[in-house]
Amino acid sequence: MSPRKIIIDTDPGQDDAVAILLALASPEDVELLGITCVAGNVPLHLTAKNARVVCELANRPDTRVFAGHDRPITRALVTAEHVHGKTGLDGPALPDPKMRLQDAHAVDFIVDTLRREPSGTVTLCPIAPLTNIAHAFNRAPDIVGRVREIVLMGGAYFEVGNITPAAEFNIHVDPEAADIVFRSGAPITVMPLDVTHKALVTGPRLEAFRALGTPVGRAVAEWTDHFERFDKEKYGSEGAPLHDPCTIAWLIDPTLFSGRRINVEIETLSPLTRGMTVADWWGVTDRPANAMFMGDVDADGFFALLTERMARL
């Protein structure tokens, strides 16, 4: 079967970095058409830099990286340096990128690619606030029907929030953008905290990355070592949740995950619960299903895949 054509929309972010590496390490499964960057974990100038740092770590300076929006559609930007560090990629010391950003704006790249590629062949993998995707859909409604699938990391139901008691970070930062995407009618697969909080980089899993003895293995171990502090303190969890790579792992081996098709709507009005994904997991409303909402992951299988693929780089 030919590899899935994908665009990763990202705000690196240590877990974003591992998702990008997983995609670059899996050419038989995914063809990475480009990486579009957005403000989120850290401001845009850093996410656009970090995406290139990761591509060069993977020895793929040919990857096309685009800068997108530097703030949410209507709201002020909320960042997460408290989780990811000042640079957004705290952990290993990696060299500044030499590869350049593409001249085109990320949203132009998304629109042009979806119009150029045959309809139903391009998958969008947003692992950040949905600002770029929403702008693309607003600007070019004709592309919505051409999207094969949106596989996004965001939201939560049983896990509730990680940035507020009610909301997960990616949705909280730009709820209006998320509302546009979830109402768009495009096929959506959601990797919420309910799943990603089961994909924890425990000690043995971290050591397996380090034992690869490669620059990539070391970087992944040091990123997750840094990144886990927030979750350990907050949840007492044993290791960092590798949120964003779950999207790429779904494309490589969907049998690792299970969930259900449900209705998901986004809270945009209440200051208290802004960005909450109101997921009708129990089917108590007659609201039509608009998303495949994941609820479980085979964590050992996920880390076996991830470690095997990191060893390729």
Radius of gyration of the chain (CA): 18
Answer for which of 197, 243, 274, 309 binds ligand RIB (CB under 6 A) is: 243
Place of tokens 């994909």: 199
Q: Which helix (H) or strand (E) holds 6?
A: strand 4-10
Window of 70-78, 131-139, 168-176, 270-278 that interacts with ligand RIB by CB under 6 A: 168-176
Closer residue to Ca ion, CB minimum distance, 227 or 263: 227
C-beta of 59: minimal distance to ligand RIB in Å? 23
Residue 94 interacts with which of ligand RIB, Ca ion, none, CB < 5 to 8 Å by class? none
Alpha-carbon distance of 50 to 16, in angstroms, equals 10
Window of 8-16, 45-53, 140-148, 228-236 that interacts with ligand RIB by CB under 6 A: 8-16
Is residue 9 close enough to count as binding ligand RIB by CB under 6 A? Answer: no
Closest CA to 268 of 151, 180, 184, 160: 180
Window of 11-19, 180-188, 258-266, 290-298 that interacts with ligand RIB by CB under 6 A: 11-19
C-beta of 192: minimal distance to ligand RIB in Å? 9
CA torsion angle 18 19 23 29 (round to 10)? 120
Alpha-carbon distance of 232 to 238, in angstroms, equals 6
Alpha-carbon distance of 101 to 104, in angstroms, equals 9
Phi, psi (rounded to 5 degrees) for 150 = -105, 115
Is residue 16 close enough to count as binding Ca ion by CB under 5 A? Answer: yes
| Number of DSSP helices (H) and strands (E) in the chain, helices first | 12, 12
Strand, coil or helix: 222: helix
Binding mask 171-200 for Ca ion (x = CB under 5 A): ------------------------------
Is residue 263 close enough to count as binding ligand RIB by CB under 6 A? Answer: no
Residue 194 interacts with which of ligand RIB, Ca ion, none, CB < 5 to 8 Å by class? none
C-beta of 129: minimal distance to ligand RIB in Å? 7
Closest CA to 20 of 51, 56, 65: 51
Phi, psi (rounded to 5 degrees) for 65 = -120, 130
45 labelled catalytic: no
Q: Distance from first CA to last CA of the chain, Å, rounded?
A: 22
Closer residue to Ca ion, CB minimum distance, 225 or 244: 244
Residue 25 interacts with which of Ca ion, ligand RIB, none, CB < 5 to 8 Å by class? none
Annotated catalytic residues are 243
Q: Which residues in this chain contact ligand RIB in the complex, by CB under 6 A?
A: 11, 13, 15-16, 40-41, 127-128, 153, 162, 168-170, 243-244
Q: Which residues in this chain contact Ca ion in the complex, by CB under 5 A?
A: 11, 13, 16, 127-128, 244
